[in-house]
Amino acid sequence: MRLFQNAGLYPAYLLRLNQLRAPDWNFLQQRDAFLRDGFGAAHILLPVVTGNADAFFANSDDEVMQRQWARENGLGSTVSLEIILLAQIEHHRAEIFYNADPMRYQGPWLRRLPACVRKTVAWRAAPSPGADFSAYDLVVCNFPGILQRYRDMGWKTAYFSPSHHPALDKLAVNSHRPIDVIFVGGYSRHHIRRAELLRAVAELQDRYRVEFHLDRSRLTRVSESVVGRMLPFAKYRRPLPIRRISRPGVFGQELYALLADAKIVVNGAIDMAEEDRGNLRCFEAMGCGALMISDRGRYPKGMEDGVTMVTYGEARDAVAAIEAGLNAPARMREIAAKGLELMQIEYSKEHQWAQFTRLIEGL
């Protein structure tokens, strides 16, 4: 099948991406730089990873890269990003359109797809009030609760999982892991449970090397600035123990290298998933060979407490689990190794692609 996979960029990642590419690079050079960096690699399908000629990948909201393609293919400088994406799909003669940015591309736009497109699939793993995905042939994600909400809207859905990127295997074998505990993720005043978790884990910093790499919200950044400290923005600021060990957010290969330098990766779901678990960090942490300690809930197949990972209830439970792991390094390494094996076997790119192919055949 001729596959077109579209994704969207996390705004905070753009700074890193712009540092990775040169101004005079063509479209393929820019796209390959993005793929090598591995941002969101767990979602990238096998034919894209292997460079199969039947597969095309684009980040449709990356204006720099998309406009470069437009220039190379004779489109005007003022044409919209939506038109560029349609032109790319037609140029590739895509049969399958797999879109990880469906909030941007819904019913009216889908009806403009070229006739070569036979099936459309959307990935969406978050509540989407006001969205209309009814024009897609299938909506997929790995959160059963969210899929049920979509089915209640009358949309056809299916369970579909992220995967393990084989490029992480070289990092996962690292036995020298100087970071005892690491957390990587976003931070805002809306992350109530996350803030409680980080406050508790931060208390370990006097005994262990603990690092937080936090992508702060705009209001949090402002509140912690020199001017912000003079304003009534206290509720937006991170507590001092968290700020002491916090560094900027990391992405792509920089993120994976840090995870592979850590003994333990702490994870915490956000409220929108309810009891479902299995966010991207699970696949990245276990795929980098670290012990993942994450909050209790319904996890994907094989992610089992005490076998391939460790779970906690309250924030204090997370601290106890961290200390238990660091005080029993052999057991910690054993669980981490089984987690890595789970990623390499059950969640391989080959398995993900086989699952995707079956879903397409069933439409």
Q: What mean pLDDT, rounded, does the chain reach? A: 93
Rounded Cα–Cα distance for residues 99 and 95 (Å):
13
Helical (H) or strand (E) element with 183: strand 179-187
Q: Which two tokens stand for residue 113?
A: 């797809």
Instruction: Tell how strand 291-295 and strand 210-216 pair up.
Output: unpaired
Q: Let me know whether 176 and 325 are in one domain.
A: yes
Residue 193 sits in a domain whose CATH number is: 3.40.50.2000
**Residue 228 pLDDT class (50, 70, 90 cuts):** low
Rounded Cα–Cα distance for residues 328 and 37 (Å):
34
Q: Let me know whether 46 and 174 are in one domain.
A: no
Chain length of the chain: 363
Q: Let me know whether 178 and 295 are in one domain.
A: yes
**How many domains does one find in the chain?**
2
Q: Let me know whether 317 and 182 are in one domain.
A: yes
Residue ranges of E strands in the chain: 3-7, 55-59, 96-99, 119-123, 138-141, 157-159, 179-187, 210-216, 246-248, 262-266, 291-295, 310-312
Q: Which two tokens stand for residue 218?
A: 């705009």
50 contact partners, CB below 8 Å, separation of at least 6: none
Q: Let me know whether 128 and 181 are in one domain.
A: no
Q: Let me know whether 93 and 201 are in one domain.
A: no
Q: Are 165 and 287 in contact (CB under 8 A)?
A: yes
Maximal CA-CA distance, the chain = 62
Question: Residue 236's CB: how many other CB atoms inside 10 A?
Answer: 19
pLDDT tens digits for range 28-37: 999 999 999 9
Rounded Cα–Cα distance for residues 40 and 14 (Å):
13
**Residue 76 pLDDT class (50, 70, 90 cuts):** confident
Q: What residue type is 348 in one-letter code?
A: S
Residue 92 sits in a domain whose CATH number is: 3.40.50
Q: Let me know whether 11 and 155 are in one domain.
A: yes
CA 251 from centre of chain: 10
Q: Are 122 and 140 in contact (CB under 8 A)?
A: yes
Q: Let me know whether 58 and 147 are in one domain.
A: yes
Calculate mean pLDDT across residues 280-284. Answer: 96
Cβ neighbourhood burial of 118 (10 Å; 0-12, 13-18, 19+): middle
pTM of the model: 0.94
The proportion of the chain whose per-residue pLDDT surpasses 70, expressed as a percent, equals: 93
Residue 122: pLDDT over 80: yes
Rounded Cα–Cα distance for residues 307 and 317 (Å):
18
Range of the domain at 32: 3-163+348-361
Q: Let me know whether 111 and 97 are in one domain.
A: yes
Q: Let me know whether 231 and 123 are in one domain.
A: no
Q: Let me know whether 187 and 328 are in one domain.
A: yes
Q: Let me know whether 79 and 199 are in one domain.
A: no
Residue 77, pLDDT score: 85
